Every structure is written in C-alpha cells, then in structure tokens.
Amino acid sequence: MTIKLICLDADDTLWHNMRHFNATEEALVAMLQPFADDEVTRDRLIACETRNLKLYGYGAKGFTLSMIETAVELAGDNLSKSLVSDILAAGRTLLAHPVELFDDVLETLEALSHLGKVVLVTKGDLLHQESKLAASGLGDLFSGIEIVSDKRPDTFTRIFAQYGVAADQAVMAGDSLRSDINPALEAGAWAAYIPQEGAWAHEMGRVPDDHPCFHMLDRLGDLPEWVRSI
C-alpha cells in the first residue's frame, strides 16, 4: 500500500496544549475555593464544557465562557465583578500562551514530506488556531491547512476527496482517540495514536487494538518509519 496523504493533528501532537488548559482550570479551582470543593468545581466545569460544545465549539474562548458559567453556578449571588475579571484574565492568558513544539517536530515533518502530502487537520476556534500555527513557524511545511469545527468520519471523507486520494491511501496521526483516531478509521484510513499526558477526558475513547489499520506510537518522531512500513 502506498500512502499519499498524511494528516496531522496540531494541539498536543505538534505542540503542547492541554498543559495550558489544565493550568487555567487549576487557576479557576483556586478562585472558586470560597464557594465549592476543588473536585466539585472540576466536575461542574467538565459538565459545563460538555454541555456548551454544541454552542461554543472547541477552543479557549468557549472554555473561558464555560469557566464564567461555572462560577455563576457555584458562587451565585456572591459572584463579584472582580472574580469575573480574574476569570477573563485567565482566559486571555490561555489565548496568549506560547507555542511550545514537541521534540523532533521539524525533522519529522521534513521526513514525512518525502512520503506524501502533509496536511494539518485541527479543530477549534479559527483565529486562535491560525495564530498558534503562525507562532509555530510550521505553516510552510504543510501542503494544506484544514481547521474544522469537529472531526467526524465525514470530515475525513471530505478531506480525502479534496486532496484526491482514496481513504486507504491516507494516514491520520494525533493524540485523541475520539477526534483523530476512531473517526479516521471509520472513514477507511490508517491511524496512528500518539497519547499524551494530561489529556482531556472528552477526547478519550476505546483503543481499537484489533483494527488492522491502527497503530500506537510512543512519539511523533516514530511516524515516518511506520508510514514507510504500510
């Protein structure tokens, strides 16, 4: 089998992301300690995020709105303007966090470029994802950039058709079973799972060990060798 299209996730595949969300969550937990136990705040925030995904989508802006909503629910009439201001400041810090690349990203992208078209497939807020990509300095290394609202099987089917390849000529690599791996496999592609510490519970899913097109990698730098082996 010849692979012609290599799709890569961005957040927590090319650069660190969840560490910044987790730090912001911990900041919110500290702010709301006068009103709720830490675990109550975390659970309420997760429930609020999940509920709001269909309204706000993925990304730091929606997360900030969910933090404010969580504060409203837990603090009630005791919610102060200063607390809202502090939450908004935490959200702005999250939006402006530095882009920290994983090890060997540049070398890996260079190696992949000799194996097929390399396309970035990421989800989230368009402006924020574009700004992170610009800050990363990686933009010119991709044959295409696809920023989508969510990743579903039909998302990958559309992308494969757009780049003129059959599904079994495409690979998707990323850190999310829910968004990167399982929908790509369902669309008929190959998928490389690169798990990262501190992953968002929403992105968890079943590890499809029994699927012939699935492979788990220790790091992104192992991807070119696996692609060659297909």
Q: What angle do CA 130, 132, 42 make, to 5 degrees?
A: 110
- Same domain? For 35 and 142 the reply is no
- Same domain? For 116 and 153 the reply is yes
Our count of domains for the chain comes to 2
Give me the pLDDT at residue 1, please.
65
Reported pTM: 0.89
Residue pair 17/11 in contact (Cβ under 8 Å)? The answer is yes
CATH of the domain at 32: 1.10.150.240
- Same domain? For 166 and 178 the reply is yes
Looking at 80, 95, 110, the residue that finishes a domain is 95
Give me the pLDDT at residue 220, please.
96
CATH of the domain at 146: 3.40.50.1000
- Same domain? For 110 and 217 the reply is yes
- Same domain? For 124 and 212 the reply is yes
Q: Of 4, 19, 2, 1, give the one whose Cα is nearest residue 175.
A: 19
- Same domain? For 175 and 225 the reply is yes
DSSP 3-state of 147: strand
Give me the pLDDT at residue 200, please.
64
- Same domain? For 35 and 54 the reply is yes
For residues 201 and 1, what is the distance between their CA atoms, to the nearest angstrom? Answer: 34
Domain with 124 in it: 5-16+101-229
Two tokens at 3?
């692979």
Give me the pLDDT at residue 107, please.
96
Per-residue pLDDT in tens (0 to 9) along the chain, 230 residues: 689 999 999 999 999 999 999 999 999 999 999 999 999 999 999 999 999 998 998 899 999 999 999 999 999 999 999 999 999 999 999 999 999 999 999 999 999 999 999 999 999 888 999 999 999 999 999 999 999 989 999 999 999 999 999 999 999 999 999 999 999 999 999 999 999 876 666 667 778 888 999 999 999 999 999 999 99
- Same domain? For 110 and 143 the reply is yes
Looking at 69, 95, 121, the residue that finishes a domain is 95
For residues 64 and 89, what is the distance between their CA atoms, to the nearest angstrom? Answer: 9
> Would you state the torsion angle of the CA atoms of residues 177, 179, 183, 188, taken in this order, to the nearest 10 degrees?
-80
